[in-house]
Amino acid sequence: MKKYLAPSILAADFNILGQQIRSVGQAGAKYLHIDVMDGIFVPSISFGIPLIRSIRSANDLIFDVHLMVTEPKRYIADFREAGADIISVHIEACGDVRETLEAVKELGAIPGLAFNPETPVEELEPYIPYAGQILLMSVHPGFGGQKFIEGSCERLKLLADLRDRMGLNIPIEIDGGVTLDNASEILQSGADILVAGSSVFNGDIERNIKDFLEVIGE
């Protein structure tokens, strides 16, 4: 499967957000990871629908929207309408996981199934057939700039095995604490899409992305 980088704008400078997103595209990234936090499922509040709608008109990156939101089904139509291409929902946040994933698909977006570091990989199994992508959290969701949780590569391998045994060919995305130093090990453990926030937006964005793309081979 082809591998990709998904820069996370949570670490961007919002004062010059448009300019920084342009740099992401110019450096050759295809995805843009957009973290929506509701202050309930996670302690922080980030940003929401109006921001997505306004950056949508300025670029054609794949909008990979990560909803850290309780009962996300209430909002998926709004996020789709604002321009989300992929909508990931947390298994821990949905009253009915299958119904939520199916609703995302019906809206014409790719349903992503996200799960927290303390959720056992096996709990995903019944829902994987309804997902178009799986998002493994390698930090506790809620904040950028955290350290990659040790053991996440083992969980990644378990998940990649499970997906392969189920005969499904859907990408696995990893999110949290990804750096140029651990990217190779993460790729070897089975990740297809690497989310990177602080390691892309701190410093020279285009240089950082080019360095990542070289490791990823995108």
CA 38-42-44 angle, 5° bins: 65
Minimum CB–partner distance for residue 64 and Zn ion (Å): 8
- Residues shown for the chain: 218
Minimum CB–partner distance for residue 72 and Zn ion (Å): 13
Residues forming a β-bridge with 4: 193
Contact call for residue 38 and Zn ion (CB under 5 A)? no
Q: Which of 59, 70, 119, 198 binds ligand DX5 (CB under 6 A)?
A: 198
Give the burial class of 150: count Cβ atoms within 10 A of its Cβ; 0-12 exposed, 13-18 middle, 19 or more buried.
exposed
x/- track of binding to ligand DX5 for residues 138-177 (CB under 6 A): -x-xxxxxx----------------------------xxx
Residues forming a β-bridge with 36: 67
Question: How many residues sit close enough to Zn ion to count as binding (CB under 5 A)?
Answer: 3
Question: How many residues sit close enough to ligand DX5 to count as binding (CB under 6 A)?
Answer: 22
- Determine the Cα–Cα distance for residues 16 and 193; give it in Å rounded to an integer: 26
List of E strands, 103-189: 110-115, 133-137, 172-175
Contact call for residue 7 and ligand DX5 (CB under 6 A)? no
Tokens representing residue 187 in the block = 């790729």
Minimum CB–partner distance for residue 82 and ligand DX5 (Å): 18
Minimal CB distance residue for ligand DX5: 197
Minimum CB–partner distance for residue 139 and Zn ion (Å): 9
Q: How many distinct helices (H) and strands (E) make up the chain?
A: 8, 8
x/- track of binding to Zn ion for residues 85-124 (CB under 5 A): ----------------------------------------
Contact segment (CB under 6 A) with ligand DX5 among 6-14, 70-78, 85-93, 126-134 equals: 6-14
Tokens representing residue 133 in the block = 């992508």
Tokens representing residue 160 in the block = 């990649």
Contact call for residue 101 and ligand DX5 (CB under 6 A)? no
Instruction: Let me know if 35 is a catalytic residue.
Output: yes
Instruction: Give kind and range of the element (H or E) at residue 68.
Output: strand 62-68
> In degrees to the nearest 10, what's the CA dihedral of 176, 11, 145, 70?
-60
Catalytic center residues: 35, 175
Residues at the interface with ligand DX5 (CB under 6 A): 8, 10-11, 33, 35, 66, 139, 141-146, 175-178, 195-199
Contact residues for Zn ion (CB under 5 A)? Answer: 35, 66, 175
